[in-house]
Structures are given as C-alpha cells and as structure tokens.
Amino acid sequence: MKKVQFEQKFKNLTKQLTRRKLILFIASFLIIVLICLLLFVFQNKQPSVSHSETSQASSQVNNQPREGKDYTIQYSNSTLIKRSTLNTAFKKAGLFDFNYLLNTSDDGGNDAKILVYYNQANQQLIFKLYQNGYQSDNDYQIGGYDFQKQTGIHGLQPSAFNGLPLVYTWENLQTK
C-alpha cells in the first residue's frame, strides 16, 4: 500500500512541478516580450517636430543636386583611365561632393568649372578649378591627386597640365 501511495504522490508532485514550470515559462516569456516591445517603442519613437522643421527637412531632401539640371559631367579619353578609378580619386579629393562644389557661400566650393587632366607617367590627376565669376581661361586654381601616394597634390605650377589629356569636365549649370 505504501508503494502505491508513494507512486500516486510522486505523479501528483510531478504534475504540480510541470504546471509550475509551465506557468513560470509562460510568465517569463510574456515578461521578455513585454520588455522587447517597450524597448522597440522607445527606440523607434521619433521626437516631435514642428511643421516648419518638417517642411524644411523635406525640401532639403528634394533639393539634392542633379546631373543635367544643376551640373554636367563629361568623361573624355576613357581608354587612358577607367571611370571607376577617376571616381574613386574624386571621392578622396572631395570632388564628388556636389553640394559643396555648388555652394556659393564662403564655406562652399563656389566652383563654376573643373577640368581634370591625367599624367599617366606619374599616375597623377591635375585639377584646374574655375570659381564662379572667373573672367578668363587663366583665372583658375590648380590642385591634384597622386594615385601612388593616395594623397592630394598642392603647390603645382600652371605648366603641370601642359600637354596632358583632358579626362573629366564638371560644369556648374546654376551659374550660367
């Protein structure tokens, strides 16, 4: 008899333990889900923005410079240097930041035209930068990019691009 009672109590005890475990598991699961939901809601909650700030932000997105409308790009002599190689160098030299190039304020590029020549022997690009309002073809600044050193070149003389092939032309259409 004692053996039967013991087995009966053991079965009841295991049922109670499994019910407790199940209840604890469900409660733990619900708490974890609740915490995750709260974290999700608070992380994705956007700060309140006034109407004027919203319209200003959306107009900035819509006013991104566009090729053909704000500026033109022309690649030349593509057999000498790949377009992707040029674009990589331009990004490193800051010539792909069209917002900066088109910016006419004191902290902008204020550029009207950029001509880029390729020195294949020295693996260098030479930039002629014409600012808005330039008066003649001699009214420019010179810069460059060295592919081997992967740095900008400063202090170049006007003769640096003589006889070199033109590989890229960028022109600001907003100031024409």
Q: How far is residue 22's CA from residue 17's CA, in Å, rounded to a whole number?
A: 8
- Structure pTM? 0.58
Please name every residue paired with 127 in a beta bridge, in sequence order, or none if there are none.
Answer: 116, 143
* Phi and psi, residue 35, nearest 5°: -65, -45
Query: Which two three-digit tokens encode residue 126?
Result: 């030479």
Q: What is the pLDDT of residues 45-82, one digit of tens each?
A: 544 443 333 333 333 455 777 778 888 888 888 888 88
Residue ranges per domain, the chain?
Answer: 2-45, 65-172
Q: How far is residue 58's CA from residue 27's CA, in Å, rounded to a whole number?
A: 45
Q: What is the pLDDT of residues 78-133, one digit of tens each?
A: 888 888 888 888 787 766 555 556 555 555 566 778 888 999 999 999 988 887 77
